[in-house]
A and B are shown apart, each in its own frame.
Chain A
Amino acid sequence: METPLALTIGVLVAAAAYLLLARDLPRVLLGFVLLGNAANLTIFAAGRIGTMTPPLVEYGALALTADAANPLPQALVLTAIVIGFGLAAFALVLVMRAHAEFGSVHAEDMDAAEAPDEPATQAPSPPEDSIPARREAA
């Protein structure tokens, strides 16, 4: 069970890395979703895997049976899924808003935030005895 799970996580991370490097923002977003799923599977795999017994304490018993599934990773993954869903929803709205604003979803077409600012004064012209002048003197 471990080998296919590890392979799945590896494929997910590779696909996520490929998508995250795209210039197209919806692809980047999909990359984030895949990476989140890979992280969730990692948490799941970090607990015990390979048992189908639900982690429920029998009536009258005080503890779980020995072969029960580990409930903690399930709780963590559930929390992480909810958080990841919220973040992805926000990012999607932001991308849609950017599309409405810039008419494009390409990262290269968005340059409003890092437009170069004007220098305080004009760059000083090179002094007279600059490199060509010195070369002539030599």
Chain B
Amino acid sequence: MRQMLLVAPILIPLLASAVTALLWMRPGVQRAVGLFAAVALFAATLALLAQVISGGMLVGQMGNWPAPFGISLVVDHLAAAMLAITGLMGLVVAVYAMGPGAQERDRAGFQPLFHALLMGVTGAFMTGDLFNLYVWFEVMLIASFGLLVLDRTREQIDGGIRYVMLNLVGTTFFLLAVGLVYGLTGTLNLADIARVAPDIENQGALAAVGVLLLVSFGAKAAVFPLFNWLPASYHTASMPVAAIFAALLTKVGVYAIIRIFTLVFAHDQALFGPLLGIIAMATMVVGVLGAAMHYDVRRILSFHIISQIGYMLVGVALMTPLAIAGSVLYVVHHIVVKANLFLVAGAMRQVGGSFALKRLGGLYAARPLLGLAFLIPALSLAGIPPLSGFWGKLVVIRSGLEAEAYVLAFVALAVGLLTLYSMVKIWNEAFWKARPDAAPEPPFAWSLAQRVATFAPIILLCGVTLTIGLWTEPFAAFSITAAEGLLDREGYIAAVLGANPVQLTEAVP
């Protein structure tokens, strides 16, 4: 039963993607199947999370091949949390995608691509094998290519080219690194690599491979200086697509960095710690400054994705239990909040007729509920107590102070202030000021069902943000358990390889 549960987060989106692709000519049925699959995926990931909390790490060997030879699926606390939040995002965006524009999207093939994307993301979170991680990255990537250019507008084709070209190079670097890791260690199983990595003779080559992996994961996570594809493309996507991209894609890169650098390169912390710290600071600052200069809601939000990635890297840079717990808490909080802001931006366009702040105005007078639904995630992003972002920032900054990384802590604080500036800018321009005369008419009236499909996910995610903010204790405790699990490399290796791992010395090529 546990083994079935372990593969469910991959099998459910796979089936959904296949079935919806077969139902190509019947968008209505596609939507029903897609929604059902999203509910099933969320239920499965929650069950998996419950299993991990009660019974500890879950490990499965695909095809019953013993550990270093086959592909292992490993779900520890961090992976389980990421899976559950992926399930939640899948459900929320599946509902939101039933709002305005659903028919055009479904005719263009939204449903099969969306579920393929979810499969790539869940696979990347679960796998315990480096080459398999590459394959899941590619599944995710090709699905995201299709989703990004779904409407085939000029904007999207241009944004799509930038996104595709830069990401293709990023994944090829990953492939190159996989080959070099195999050459150095003779294995691709992450636990096995972690076991042999500290004893490799040629540590210099291993560190070079680590940097290559950092470049390819960093390109995926949009860290400084590899972030340029993100603000060039995300704002062109249709809103449900932008929301799921903002929630999950960069976070897969962050997850890969956390996983690889806590597990495989932990012995080389003297090199990678400061490197990641500098990258984290530069990412925070560049992202928030980029957001400050833009006056389009989507582009402001895109730049804030980059700036928040910096906070998530602090944990790996410092490598203390508290810092990693902060990163875990921050990732979970950020996914909910950022997806919600994109959903709200879509609703703002629906109500106000534009994404440009100049053309928006008076939204608070017209729709006070929308204003409230914007304020909760926006203030949470900026880290205002008692919302979820405050606790995430508190743990990250406190871990920075405890580790005596004062510059890092100071930058994190200052960036929080600038985040508030951007959010207040959106609030002042779109909600507070009077409606400008040149304001465009909303594109069309929407039905009650579309309204429910748009606002139910927003309100649900606001509820999640408030829950994390007001009842932080279980989330914080979970994050600390996850961090301890990540730092316990021996435990991970033993759980995957068994107590007496097969000695592979002869297999080293």
Q: How many angstroms from the CA of A70 to the CA of B182 in the assembled complex?
A: 12
Query: How distant is B71 from chain A, measured CB to nearest CB, in Å?
Result: 12
The reply on A117 being an interface residue by CB < 8 A is yes
Q: Compute the total of residue contacts between A and B using a CB distance below 8 Å.
A: 123
Residues of chain B with a CB closer than 8 A to A73's CB:
179, 182
A117 touches B294 (CB 8 A): yes
Q: Which residues, 287 to 315 on B, are CB-close (under 8 Å) to A?
A: 294-296, 299
Query: How distant is B188 from chain A, measured CB to nearest CB, in Å?
Result: 8
Contact with B along A101-122 (1 / 0, CB 8 A): 1100001001111100111110
B232 touches A114 (CB 8 A): yes
Main SS at interface, chain B: helix
A112 touches B158 (CB 8 A): yes
Q: Which residues, 214 to 231 on B, are CB-close (under 8 Å) to A?
A: 231
B182 touches A94 (CB 8 A): no
Partner among A43, A44, A86, A114 whose Cβ is within 8 Å of the Cβ of B142: A86
Q: How many angstroms from the CA of A98 to the CA of B182 in the assembled complex?
A: 38
Residues of chain B with a CB closer than 8 A to A76's CB:
131, 178-179, 182
Q: How many angstroms from the CA of A25 to the CA of B161 in the assembled complex?
A: 9
The reply on B157 being an interface residue by CB < 8 A is yes
The reply on B172 being an interface residue by CB < 8 A is yes
Most chain A beta-carbon neighbours within 10 Å: one of B138, B165, B179, B294: B179
Most chain B beta-carbon neighbours within 10 Å: one of A47, A70, A80, A97: A80
The reply on B211 being an interface residue by CB < 8 A is no
B158 touches A118 (CB 8 A): no
Q: How many angstroms from the CA of A40 to the CA of B179 in the assembled complex?
A: 8
Among residues of B, the one whose C-beta sits closest to the C-beta of A88 is: B168
Q: How many angstroms from the CA of A113 to the CA of B229 in the assembled complex?
A: 11
Residues of chain A with a CB closer than 8 A to B372's CB:
none
Answer whether A70 and B145 are a contact pair too, CB < 8 Å, given A76-B131, A119-B295.
Answer: no
A110 touches B172 (CB 8 A): no
A48 touches B131 (CB 8 A): no
A46 touches B180 (CB 8 A): yes
Residues of chain A with a CB closer than 8 A to B459's CB:
none
Q: Which residues, 52 to 74 on A, are CB-close (under 8 Å) to B?
A: 70, 72-73
